[in-house]
Chains A and B, each alone.
Chain A
């Protein structure tokens, strides 16, 4: 938070931003299909993306401001505890390898666009489908909020607006700018925009990481120096809590938290509507499996970026808002022009996923709330129109989270979303493998998980605020501190199983399952699989 504007950095940043925005608008013409006004087209890019595009798209929403700002900031603040993001992403791949191909198959057989579509088809329950949809939309909002915080941090360090100003308008100006740009181009181009921009984003990010991870340690005297300085800093007592600020290695007491955060986040990730959107827009189920074998490269990047948190400490960066640590490190270490490139990488890296997330949440609303409950006879054009408007409303919701929650621990935004979205896991993943669960039991389990999770998270206080101050709490019955989301998930599961036994005993109506066993294993090219592509391109997928 230096005074004044860093002109060169800002210039470079604006250059990239304008370039990307232009690309975003042009993206509407990329691989254009015949029926451009349908929801499949706007919201799933015509479901025609191959391995590479899918990879960029998935990477685009997995590695976000969470990776570049929130995780290093968590490390900057507390050390080892923030590194749970690495095991989290490691655990994601075996998980998605197991269940996403089945989801792809059944979705392409029945034309499902969202997880709610699937749940409704599988369990014949509109209320369960509604619960999944509402959860998806709600949980996406804090995740988008995290992206906005990321963009804001970058603008803040460049001297646009910022924390020290007393004028509320100037203070929140970066946020409003970020919000405006995001809203405008998502609205016009749908999923094609972020898919295309993801290439630029990833290229920028790789360059920045490569440079940062080599250049900064050399400048700081190697990892030995970095870690010994960081260790010394963490050993100092925090006046607010009377305990050491953090540790280089999680102490015995923190290990439960570490493991549950990793596992809970991993289970939650592919429940998010946006992750599902990226998956379903791929061309074949093989594309997904192939992808899971190359995606871990992103995890490596995440680990390296996380280490930047230690470098910020070693470089003597002192910020009150931890989110500014990494942008400030870049500003101090890099020449202005390259700092601009790095800021652009972070900014675009937040923008792309935010766009994908809001599109996904909008799809969910349109398909499973608007069409199922409000206007069943909507035309494809109306659906696309409603989606566009809802994608704006979701961003407004995100803005509310930004303005009401503590921005200094941005990682909590994502963890809060995780608490909620994790509660859809039994219905979705359970449903992909078995029809044993009863639909009402799933609904009951979901309700218990949601209520417990929300109440527990509400009750967590932090030094800066009374409610929603953190995402970990004592696990009832075990006594260790663990991720609330995972605790709620276990409760959810127990309630679901118990209720299923009860409901089956009283012979409650099961609902109609419109899917068949072999729907879960088909691939593109099999009979009845919808591949919305001219044959020439579809043939490549085999």
Chain B
């Protein structure tokens, strides 16, 4: 959180905003129940309400995976920056 104050890149960067959006999106989508509480259109006989939420399992997986990759890159970049500065 508050390590090495001399070479601190900004806390909020565009990449981090994207990561946050990826992580927040499932909450908005799932907690807004009114947006998907309906039966039509059905998919192979399964009402919308059910297949939509199952689809979100896949979407949220993709979003979490994206967040993970971006975070990894972010951390690596910061580690390189820090390592370079301290040597």
Contacts and interface: CB of A to CB of B under 8 A. Distances in A.
B45 A97 contact: no
A460 interface: no
Contact of A90 (B2, B26, B47): B26
* SS of B interface (majority): helix
Contact of A259 (B23, B31, B39): B31
A227 B46 contact: yes
Nearest to A298: B57
A531 interface: no
A296 B53 contact: no
Nearest to A302: B57
Contacts of A227: 42, 45-47
Given A290-B68, A517-B1, A517-B3, A262 B46 contact: no
A289 B53 contact: no
A86 B33 contact: no
Contact of A289 (B3, B22, B46, B68): B68
A97 B69 CA distance: 12
A292 B39 CA distance: 31
Q: Which interface residue of A83, A93, A98, A222 has the most chain B CB atoms within 10 A?
A: A93
A399 interface: no
Contacts of A223: 44-46
Contacts of A222: 44-45
Nearest to A222: B45
B23 A303 contact: no
A293 B31 contact: no
Contacts, number: 111
Interface stretch (A29-37, A248-256, A492-500): A248-256
Given A263-B31, A517-B2, A87 B45 contact: no
Contacts of B1: 517, 520
B17 interface: no
Contacts of B24: 94
Q: How large is the interface on A (under 10, 10 to 19, 20 to 34, 35 or more residues)?
A: 35 or more
A226 interface: yes
A259 B29 CA distance: 11
A377 interface: no
Contacts of A292: 64, 68
B58 interface: yes
Contacts of A299: 57
Interface in B41-57: 42, 44-47, 49-50, 53-54, 56-57
A297 B60 CA distance: 11
B15 to A, nearest CB: 15
A456 interface: no
B46 A87 contact: no
Nearest to B38: A249
Contact of A258 (B33, B65, B72): B33
Contacts of A251: 37
B84 interface: no
B56 to A, nearest CB: 6
A299 B1 CA distance: 33
A289 B49 contact: no
A80 B56 CA distance: 16
A97 B64 CA distance: 8
B64 A94 contact: yes
B30 interface: yes
A248 B47 contact: yes
A83 B64 contact: no
A263 B31 CA distance: 8
A89 B40 CA distance: 24
A540 interface: no
Contact of A303 (B30, B32, B38, B57): B57
Q: Which interface residue of B32, B34, B53 has the most chain A CB atoms within 10 A?
A: B53
A226 B46 CA distance: 9
Q: Which interface residue of A91, A249, A289 has the most chain B CB atoms within 10 A?
A: A249
Contact of B54 (A255, A289, A303): A303
A225 interface: yes
Interface in A292-318: 292-294, 296-297, 299-300, 303-304, 307
Contacts of B44: 222-223
Contact of A91 (B30, B32, B49): B30
A518 interface: yes
Given A223-B45, A259-B31, A517-B1, 5 more contacts: A80-B37, A93-B26, A97-B64, A224-B42, A293-B61
9 contacts: A94-B24, A94-B63, A94-B67, A248-B47, A249-B49, A250-B37, A296-B60, A296-B61, A517-B2
Shortest beta-carbon contacts, A-B, top 7: A223-B45, A224-B45, A87-B30, A255-B33, A94-B23, A296-B61, A303-B54
Interface of B: 1-3, 22-24, 26-27, 30-34, 37-39, 42, 44-47, 49-50, 53-54, 56-58, 60-61, 63-65, 67-68, 71-72
